[in-house]
Structure 1
Amino acid sequence: MDTLQETKTRVFKFGDKTADGNSKMKNLLGGKGANLAEMNLIGIPVPPGFTITTEVCTEYNLLGQEALVNLITPEVEKAIENIENIMGAKFGDKENPLLVSVRSGARVSMPGMMDTVLNLGLNDEVVLGLAAKTKNERFAWDSYRRFIQMYGDVVLGMKQESKDDIDPFEEIMEALKHKRGIVLDTDFTVQDLKDLCYDFKNAVKKGTGHDFPTDPWEQLWGAVVAVFNSWNGNRAIYYRTMNGYPSEWGTAVNVQAMVYGNMGNNSGTGVCFTRDAGTGENLFNGEYLINAQGEDVVAGTRTPQQITKIGSIRWAELAKIEEEERAKNYPSLEELMPTIYNELNEYQQKLEDHYRDMQDMEFTIQDGKLWILQTRNGKRTGAAMVKIAVDKLKEGSITEEEALLRIEANKLDELLHPVFDTKALKRAHVIAHGLPASPGAATGQIVFFADEAAKFKSSILVRIETSPEDLEGMNIAKGILTARGGMTSHAAVVARGMGKCCISGAGALQINYKTRTLTVDGHEYHEGDWISLNGSTGYIIEGKVATSEPELSGEFAELMKLSDKYTTMKVRTNADSPKDAKVAVKFGAQGIGLTRTEHMFFEADRIKAMREMILSDTIKGRKIALEELLPMQRSDFEGIFEAMAGLPVTVRLLDPPLHEFVPHVLVTQRELAEEMHISLEQVKAKIAELEEFNPMLGHRGCRLGITYPEITEMQARAIIEAALNLKEKGIVAVPEIMIPLIGTVAEFENQAAVIRATADKVFEERNDTIEYLVGTMIEIPRAALIADLIAAKADFFSFGTNDLTQMTFGYSRDDAGKFLPIYIEKGILTSDPFEVLDQQGVGQLVKMGTNKGRSVKPNLKVGICGEHGGEPSSVEFCYNTGMNYVSCSPFRVPIARIASAQAAIKAKA
């Protein structure tokens, strides 16, 4: 973009049913500016104004304030003149003043994340002119004190960053209220408001060292720059990071003529929704306040009233207010101002029909006249999102493709996991936050050790980090909380697979295993204390919070069925147990893309045999231990194959380094030595021998099978025998045996030969056969580079993008939490590459591997089984790469199904 191009338009005017822009220009005008223009074009009463484009925000960041003001001043002056002509008032005039509002407007809705200034243009002289013009002295001085406070906070930086610090203006007002014995702002007299303005200006002088600005143009430029600055404020950055919005988008600035909801009891302001944002019910609803300005509705200082009568009655029932009291003290807008209500009701229907989606609107009533200040597609819960999309489809206002594209796939998580009761959350005390690693809601008593998870009926396992040894305890606990680790840490990956609530990487936690305490900000929590985890937000809450199981609506099933109509790429699941497999099938999984066999070895009755195998110094000793494990593995596979009857199941052979299976606690080491009839020193020596400097790049994956082929033999036998046993029951098993971590063709050939020889031996013993495949996981960059050579030998590829990302970037996924947040904050990375597939780097290896493989074997089956398999943008990439399937944790299957359908629809567009 040529930032110094003089001829391009930077300011777009709207008003009096005309506009320079329209709703299709959201990238340039921001969502608010585009919709203000569009509402003018369709005849909605909107206060006139203008929009300074998002591109100017970028120019401001490059050029600085002075150069930018010089650049856009001519256009802004013309735009102000246009507002003056429409409103019949003049900006800065002492007798007939025009006041304006200055608001932000990104291309997507970011409610409350950036700054707003109202009543701009007032000073000690203009306020007198406003009072004379309106014949309402109280209104004029109320507007002035609001302006000084808002401008002081937003532009002059008077408001403190910490939520615990007191806003100096609020402190002044509270002191006056206490002195006067009043409660509400509306109780201030005219003299009170004059005194407040005087005191506010003194506070500005004291806080900034400068007088409050009196020149309206200086005020305007200060507000414009403040809005641009707020794009890079802490709130906006956090919100963008949370939602994955790029920092380079920038925000527009919208300047509008002020209309006043604080002119008396014939004026007011409110927010309304064309449908219920919580449930999706087709019910017009919202809140309003009489004699107030926009910020008052959301500030919480006054109790808002409901717009509709039915909404008022519902609210009164919840608040336990008698109907007679409600009607008298909290009448709905429908009851209080029926003419205004009918007009608003007409506009809300017109706007929903026009935008063909649920709208979130702001309005002001000035002395009996209704103005619409804003409309946007309303934020909604996951349940509301599904219902509205399906309802709009049934109403005939959108197509099937549009209904699917309206779904924000990740929000389906909200429907699939336990959730906290809304009322209970309002009373909750948040003590810290971490990464929302696995959604849902969990309440339980703190335990610090996995083997003690069953100590309480409901427990929260609190660990510095988890390991595979913790699996049983993780399964028992209601939720998992770790101080370390990222979105693909062990705790996160396993918890998502279980559909269990998890928060990881909560760095503020100080965990002391010796004293069994958790310390946060100096407050100590002990084993047995109750805490609650909101896995959807990452909030850690003190005490119990009531939860409820989600109820999947009929609309959810309809949406899932619709998604299958539009996609060709299948969705499998990552599942390590029959229970996980059954959950995934319920959610529509079409097979298993990854069964991690190592998870089966950590149960109490198996870990002993596994450890005996590892500690044995002879092949014979290892085989004896493996013979003990064989029936257990076979039984596991039978359960999984039966749960997936007729659907393919990809089983990954043993992958992690062996040191993860041995005990690291002295007591357990001593028990193992006694059981194996060897000395404690021998056990310690073997454990020390297994330790590696970098185990993730050490003796693991196919390297284990090559070193100890008897392990591969046992696992292959368990898989094939399980499939044959099911065949005898009339159940079809479709095993796909996957060799992990290969980087050479020879590694694959070595392990494939062991698998096929073992299968042939079992077939001969049983005098029966089944169909099976032998493929590999592409998770080392070298494997992607020689994928054509591997494909000549392999039946399928599955991309393990967790390790492929780790090895391509050179980041340890369990340690990257120390620097990745800083990388994202500073724009070095746009997102966590372990959460969202890096399409420019890792993705190119995936594409290369797929293309190379199919250049040798055109019908090669290709899938992905890393955590990216359930992330919508990554699923779209996989679809466009031509994969046969993606695989993800059971509770992400619906997300992947929707994302796959959306990718297919976009590809045809």
Structure 2
Amino acid sequence: MAKKYVYFFGAGKADGNGKMKDLLGGKGAGLAEMSRSGVPVPPGFTVTTDTCRYYYSHGRRVPPELQAQFKDAMRKLEKVSGKGFGDPENPLLVSVRSGAKFSMPGMMDTILNLGSNDAVVEGLSALTGNPRFVWDSYRRFIQMFGNVVMGIDKSEFERAISAKKREKNVELDTQLDAADLRDLVARFKKLYREKTKEDFPQDPWKQLVLARDAVFKSWNNDRAISYRRMNRIPDDLGTAVNVQTMVFGNMGDTSATGVGFTRNPMNGAKEFFAEYLTNAQGEDVVAGTRTPKHIPQMAKELPECYAQLKSITSRLEKHYRDVQDFEFTVERNHLYMLQTRTGKRTGMAAVKIAVDMVREKLISKDEALLRVEPDQLSQLLAPVFDESQKKNATQVAKGINAGPGAASGRVAFTAEKAVELAKSGPVVLVRPETNPDDIEGMNAAVGILTAIGGRTSHAAVVARGMGKPCVVGCQALKIDPGTATMAVDGHRLKEGESISIDGFTGEVYVGRIPTIPSEIVRVLRGELSHKDSELYGVFKEFMGWADAARKLKVRANADIPRDAKAARQLGAEGIGLCRTEHMFFAEERLPLMQQMILSDNVVDRKKALDKLMPFQKEDFKGLFKEMRGFPVTIRTLDPPLHEFLPKTEAEAEALSKKIGIPAQTILAKSRDLHEFNPMLGHRGCRLGIVYPEITEMQVQAIIGAACELAREKIRIVPEIMIPLVGHKNELKHQKDLAIRTADETMKSYGVKINYLVGTMIEVPRAAVTADQIAREADFFSFGTNDLTQMGFGFSRDDAGKFIPAYLAEKILKEDPFQTLDQEGIGKLVEWGTSQGRKVKKDLKVGICGEHGGDPASVKFCHNVGLNYVSCSPYRIPVARLAAAQAVLESKKKSEYSSK
């Protein structure tokens, strides 16, 4: 039996149903289901996604069996409609539209009024008595066919329309009469002939076959490919083609076309949200060529159809138990539904709709949790630009959106300048790239913009940790430090002039755009009462369900008490990574750190470290207080020492005046410490082994802080984490030193506390020999940023130069610095975890790289049995939801496999 490639729907029946999205696409499945449910749907048929996949795997040829099935479906359509395809006396016109499994609005192509030709329009004019409508439909068909099938630029047709309107001295297309439109058809045909070297096809069958194949081709147009990449839709799904009897919204004032949602897709309100146009076709509404009317007006203009539309769409929402995005046409007071599909919505709307539908008993809590994309929660926390102001602003560049939110402020090109300017107003730090010594400037700035780097570059990682908007990799940005200016898209801005950056989109604007604070953040800060925020109540309820469902703990990467406080407010269950090096860059501490590095002997180094220790201890006390009762994992010093030293003569002179060491000596030491490959150089545990006094000071500060708080009855279990361990003996050296120092410190306080000493697993050798390392470790934390770097041999700060090409060429499916590479790096995580637990059954294991806030990576961590993930504070809700979804998806999978 021949494979079935065509599925018919109409007259209350359908070959397919709403569950066949894989085969029929979302649109085709929706049309089949509506038809079976008795909803008024123009009859038609769907050519399956299998056909599209065959088309691409066989040199752009359709299956041999398709032609007969295609013709049979058209004959059936003629019979059901009572019209003839190509019959001038009673013509059947059809639409040809794409429809993939996942909604890709506007990404692929549509053709309306197919079947029109010179003979048909004459017959249809006589049949309808409405020649204007007929010639309008014909000119639209030539325009769409010429663009979609033959690749003629849309603007060529638009210019012809504009010229005709100028000749007639009218402003709107609707003001052109039948004679004008007939003349436009002649002009369009002439244009078609000039561009294609052939006449516009008069054979409806030829039109139909060309249009069908053009829709298949549109699966791989540039915008569809880009959309799939951005939304992680597989490239091999293919699109279905829907051929459907035309109904006409452009037959006069009793006809209309529109689109809408059963609830507000912007804020989730339970309200009928739709727009329509009278005397128009569907593309007019979405193309923006005419300003549509709001749906309440339809109740006055077409009251019976309005009531029917509300009833049908309400029924559809209850049937699908989700918000529906629908299209409709009214032809001479008769309503037809052209599409229903799950409606896309903002993060705010997604959460509200999910909670409301649980309250309405439409869906369960588990279903609600699976309805919201984890990344959508970021939208609820980040400040946004006022759209009414943004549309009037001048966009000058676009980089990589790396930290969500919106920020406006004066440009500062150095961290020092950012701190200075921030005293009198908001600042955007603009740098070629950021380094750890920019931390004060980043802290002072409201947003960060860099010319190079990717989503896991220093700027991106720290900005997300701070909850600050960040745009990186803005290659159009040229910074001239000598003149303290930046040039972008013909604009030259001086330091102190204003820009705005949108961390959601990567867009950069000249001047300031007002932002609107996130309502939820205002509640968390105490600036708004929770009683005055319905959104916060909905968010809190939703996240409560997520916490009840998940097994994976979620901690925060936080270095200062303010970040720790934000993390707790957002649901963190401890700190999974405190980067102690950031604490040394504060203004009063950096000279002490530099003096320690510049010392020639242990005695002088210890003197400088003794002065630093009280600062570190107070930092840790602040973190412990915010996290009382929850674990706090503190990483000992990780970056190479040269990062703390001056790089220019001016900086060296300034430091010389503070610490009394000659500038030339300072620069010489900086040059001496400089490394060719610092990522693999003298850093991490290697520093603690060569300079054990550094580890001693940090352990004294950690344990001392815990002891002092223990006296205040504040319970804390510090976790001391040794970085960059690749060999068990490295960890043993640092662990023995930590235990000895901790014992001495507790003895001096007369206090006994519990603490752990563990390690980061970020060197591939450590993962491979995890069974050996586990003998010395109380816990593992996978540092997946460095593990990815070393596993791939990629530098994450330089990967932005080639990763886009790897993605475009399909060498990689995902950026491995954004989503954990489960086939390679993930295997190291899985192996390291299993080997470690062979030695210590209850070994606590987590990850603390940026992957801890990536939903796909979080789900992987659940599946391989990790105890926790740690991420930037403002990614915590994302990780909490992803962890809950991992449980629910595993449950669904096991239920399915047991059937």
TM-score range, shorter chain: over 0.9
1:614 paired to 2:597: yes
Letter in 2 for 1:172: A
| Counterpart in the other structure of 2:377 | 412
1:41 paired to 2:36: yes
Deviations 1:103-122 (A, max 9, x none): 11111111111111111111
Q: How does 1:417-432 map to 2 (within 5 A)?
A: 417-432=382-397
Inter-partner Cα distance in structure 1 for 2:593 and 2:415:
19
1:474 paired to 2:434: no
**SS of aligned partner of 1:605:** coil
**SS of aligned partner of 1:675:** helix
| Counterpart in the other structure of 1:601 | 584
Q: How does 1:348-747 map to 2 (within 5 A)?
A: 348-453=313-418, 454-455=420-421, 457-552=425-520, 553=535, 554-747=537-730
C-alpha deviation, 1:70, in angstroms: 4.2
Inter-partner Cα distance in structure 1 for 2:600 and 2:153:
69
Inter-partner Cα distance in structure 1 for 2:480 and 2:234:
39
Q: How does 1:161-310 map to 2 (within 5 A)?
A: 167-308=155-296
| Counterpart in the other structure of 1:163 | none
TM-score between the two structures when normalised by the length of structure 1: 0.95
- CA distance 1:54–1:510, change in 2 (3 Å): farther
Inter-partner Cα distance in structure 2 for 1:71 and 1:665:
74
Greater displacement, 414-423 / 361-370: 414-423
2:18 to 15, 20, 23: 23
C-alpha deviation, 1:71, in angstroms: 4.8
Greater displacement, 200-209 / 392-401: 200-209
**SS of aligned partner of 1:21:** coil
Letter in 1 for 2:437: E
1:145 paired to 2:178: no
Q: How does 1:92-131 map to 2 (within 5 A)?
A: 92-131=86-125
Inter-partner Cα distance in structure 2 for 1:843 and 1:437:
23
| Counterpart in the other structure of 2:531 | none
Q: How does 1:837-876 map to 2 (within 5 A)?
A: 837-876=820-859
C-alpha deviation, 1:891, in angstroms: 0.4
Inter-partner Cα distance in structure 1 for 2:335 and 2:687:
74
Give yes or no for contact 1:444–1:459 (8 Å, CA) kept in 2.
yes
Letter in 2 for 1:12: Y
Give yes or no for contact 2:51–2:63 (8 Å, CA) kept in 1.
no
Give yes or no for contact 1:69–1:221 (8 Å, CA) kept in 2.
no
Letter in 2 for 1:543: G
Greater displacement, 11-20 / 602-611: 11-20
| Counterpart in the other structure of 2:529 | none
Inter-partner Cα distance in structure 2 for 1:82 and 1:460:
64
Inter-partner Cα distance in structure 2 for 1:71 and 1:810:
50
1:765 paired to 2:748: yes
C-alpha deviation, 1:676, in angstroms: 3.7
- CA distance 1:568–1:684, change in 2 (3 Å): same
Percent identity at matched positions? 55
Inter-partner Cα distance in structure 2 for 1:262 and 1:587:
52
Inter-partner Cα distance in structure 2 for 1:222 and 1:60:
13
Greater displacement, 173-182 / 70-79: 70-79
Greater displacement, 522-531 / 856-865: 522-531
Letter in 2 for 1:906: E
Deviations 1:798-835 (A, max 9, x none): 11111111111111111111111121122221111111
**SS of aligned partner of 2:729:** helix
Give yes or no for contact 1:435–1:503 (8 Å, CA) kept in 2.
yes
Inter-partner Cα distance in structure 1 for 2:538 and 2:557:
26
**SS of aligned partner of 1:365:** strand
Inter-partner Cα distance in structure 1 for 2:35 and 2:820:
42
Give yes or no for contact 1:54–1:106 (8 Å, CA) kept in 2.
yes
C-alpha deviation, 1:47, in angstroms: 1.2
Letter in 2 for 1:533: I
**SS of aligned partner of 1:23:** coil
Deviations 1:257-314 (A, max 9, x none): 1111001111010011111111111111211000000011122222211112xxxxxx
| Counterpart in the other structure of 2:865 | 882
**SS of aligned partner of 2:476:** coil
Letter in 2 for 1:528: G
1:80 to 34, 56, 74: 74
TM-score between the two structures when normalised by the length of structure 2: 0.96
**SS of aligned partner of 1:604:** coil
| Counterpart in the other structure of 2:801 | 818
**SS of aligned partner of 1:90:** coil
Inter-partner Cα distance in structure 2 for 1:670 and 1:429:
42
Give yes or no for contact 2:649–2:663 (8 Å, CA) kept in 1.
no
C-alpha deviation, 1:523, in angstroms: 3.0
C-alpha deviation, 1:101, in angstroms: 1.0
Inter-partner Cα distance in structure 1 for 2:496 and 2:145:
49
Inter-partner Cα distance in structure 2 for 1:370 and 1:811:
58
Question: What 5-or-longer segments of structure 2 have no aligned partner?
Answer: 521-534, 893-899
Deviations 1:747-787 (A, max 9, x none): 10011011101001111211211100000011111111111
1:132 paired to 2:126: yes
C-alpha deviation, 1:429, in angstroms: 3.2
Deviations 1:306-333 (A, max 9, x none): 112xxxxxxxxxxxxxxxxxxxxxxx00
Give yes or no for contact 2:477–2:487 (8 Å, CA) kept in 1.
yes
Inter-partner Cα distance in structure 2 for 1:108 and 1:848:
35
Inter-partner Cα distance in structure 1 for 2:50 and 2:601:
70
C-alpha deviation, 1:212, in angstroms: 2.3
C-alpha deviation, 1:226, in angstroms: 2.1
- CA distance 1:95–1:870, change in 2 (3 Å): same
C-alpha deviation, 1:371, in angstroms: 0.4
Greater displacement, 382-391 / 244-253: 244-253
**SS of aligned partner of 1:24:** coil
C-alpha deviation, 1:93, in angstroms: 2.1
- What is the aligned-residue RMSD (CA, Å)? 1.4
C-alpha deviation, 1:412, in angstroms: 0.5
**SS of aligned partner of 1:519:** strand
1:50 paired to 2:45: yes
C-alpha deviation, 1:69, in angstroms: 6.3
| Counterpart in the other structure of 2:896 | none
C-alpha deviation, 1:527, in angstroms: 2.4
